[in-house]
Chains A and B, each alone.
Chain A
Amino acid sequence: MEYLLHILIISGIYIILTLSLNLILGYTGLPALGHIAFACVGAYTSSLLALNFGVSPWIGLLIGACLASLLGLIIGFPSMRLKGDYLALATFGFGVIVYSVSKNWVDLTRGPMGLPGIPKFIVFGFELQPVWAYLILVTAFVAVTAFIINRIVNSPFGRILRSIRDDEVASLSIGTNINKYKLTVFVIGAFFAGIAGSLYAHYITFIDPSSFTVMESIAVLLMVVFGGMGNIKGSFIGALILVIFPEMLRFLGMPSSIAAPLRQMIYGLLLIILMIKRPQGIIGEYRFK
């Protein structure tokens, strides 16, 4: 039972990541491959604040999300000049840089040794030790994230994002300040990714750079594409399937030396099939041209 709740918590954290990347990738059409870097910043910020200065995880989460936003602003700048594949590569490089910093700035992050003993959230004097309690917290964050992102994409602002995705020149011709919008979505997306990172750190209570490799960014990207770009429900479906499905393979009773690579292979196969059969994702409304 505890295990099931754990999977749901992890799914919830990935849903937040997927939703926030969907805003950037699915709704605005910016191929960003470094999304986990924002989570990394959020996770390390609130963990370090809690461990070194005894700052409450709540405040740490907010500061972490804000710092992630700041980083989103910085990575947003190349997005004004780079398009398509080039932006993908630039954001990929950015993901590698953040990962390398977290791994090599040993004085600050303890590098590969990681940060153990990160405190849990405290709600009304009640430490969120039980898994079910943490699930409630994560669910609340998922709900708030989904609500806000849904509001954003269904507002006039969201319509303009889609116009940028559909056709930048057309969007320019109707008077869109494209750069402003691109920067804004990176800032908003990074903010929520930062929250996800912080939620992860205070749940697992241990983080190290290996949780924030570029492969993780790609996993989140796959969740967005799998569920469907430009669709909120798609983000839920994509994250849930791609988190839960590999877990199910645990119960096939294979030795872990076979199960782990098999998992990767099935993961890959699933994606190949989907991309052939439904390139727009399970319920997506947009696909890459």
Chain B
Amino acid sequence: MHIWGREKDMLLEAKNISVSYGAVKAIEDVTFKVNDGEIVAMIGPNGAGKSTALKAVFGMVDIQSGDILFNRESIKDLRPDEHVSKGISLVPEGRRLFPSMTVIENLEMGAFLREGNNGKADIENILELFPALKDKRRQKAGVLSTGEQQMLALGRALIQKPKLLLADEPSLGLSPSYVDTIFEKLIAINKSGTSVLLVEQNARMALEIAHRGYVFKIGQIFLEDTGKNLLESEEVKKAFLGG
């Protein structure tokens, strides 16, 4: 695919991966990739396996077959924490902040385990990116609004300076204006050089910002194309975009 007129370097490649939870096959023989600099969206109905695919990339579930390459190096046997040091960060579904810690402390947590961290300056940078958090820096994460919490979750992942950001349902439970903000931030994050692999229920928004997209259906990928083409595809329109 020549999205920007030249062949992009492949950053992440999942080849024929399958994941089962006990006897239940969650995803089967799924192949996808993220090129350097891309936003890639995974869309599909509930239970189609998109979140499982994301968890597999982060090492949170064991894959039964197939391989996952990051910078052409297999990462399928790594623990989640090792993914972070490789340059992959996760914004987990449902935000998953540390509610008893303040905004700053949550961000510090993100920077803690990173090597060569330059905590203070990085935190200020994150706060510049999310000005809504600036005034609330001393507040407990648990008392923030859902939208602010989502920004904090994004910030906590970004402070690790990932090459690839995995975002699991970042718009879930957010008010419409915050949904817009979050997607704007994802574009900004991507423009500054971070590739994004995005799992979203909000198919339209996701495809609007994505360079490419994968459509999941009962554990498999049944469509893949550029975000623009998927938005215009009759099948996707019918299934996810309400006609």
Contacts and interface: CB of A to CB of B under 8 A. Distances in A.
Contacts of A170: 92, 96-98
A160 interface: yes
B218 interface: no
Interface string B189-205: 00000000000000000
A168 B160 CA distance: 18
Contacts of B85: 175
Interface stretch (B4-12, B110-118, B225-233): B110-118
A170 B81 CA distance: 11
B109 A163 contact: yes
Contact of A174 (B60, B84, B100): B84
B92 A173 contact: yes
B156 to A, nearest CB: 6
A12 B16 CA distance: 60
Nearest to B79: A177
Nearest to B86: A175
B75 to A, nearest CB: 14
B79 A167 contact: no
Interface string B89-103: 111100011111100
B116 to A, nearest CB: 14
Interface residues of A, number: 18
Given A159-B105, A167-B98, A175 B81 contact: yes
A167 B90 CA distance: 14
B179 to A, nearest CB: 21
Residue from A160, A163, A166, A173 with most neighbouring chain B CB atoms (10 Å): A173
Residue from A159, A175, A286 with most neighbouring chain B CB atoms (10 Å): A175
Contacts of A177: 79, 81
Residue from A160, A174, A285 with most neighbouring chain B CB atoms (10 Å): A174
A172 interface: yes
A62 B3 CA distance: 66
B154 to A, nearest CB: 11
B56 to A, nearest CB: 14
A120 interface: no
A170 B60 CA distance: 12
A176 interface: yes
Interface string A156-198: 1001101100110110111111100000000000000000000
B80 A175 contact: yes
A85 B10 CA distance: 44
A174 B160 CA distance: 8
Contacts of B89: 173, 175
B123 interface: no
Contacts of B113: 160, 174-176
26 contacts: A156-B112, A159-B108, A159-B109, A163-B109, A166-B98, A166-B101, A167-B96, A167-B97, A167-B98, A170-B98, A172-B80, A173-B80, A173-B89, A173-B90, A173-B92, A173-B156, A174-B112, A174-B160, A175-B83, A175-B85, A175-B113, A175-B114, A175-B160, A176-B81, A285-B100, A286-B100
Interface of B: 58, 60, 79-81, 83-85, 89-92, 96-101, 105, 108-110, 112-114, 156-157, 160
Interface of A: 156, 159-160, 162-163, 166-167, 169-170, 172-178, 285-286
Given A167-B98, A174-B109, A174-B160, 12 more contacts: A159-B112, A162-B98, A163-B101, A167-B97, A169-B92, A174-B110, A174-B112, A174-B156, A174-B157, A175-B81, A175-B113, A176-B113
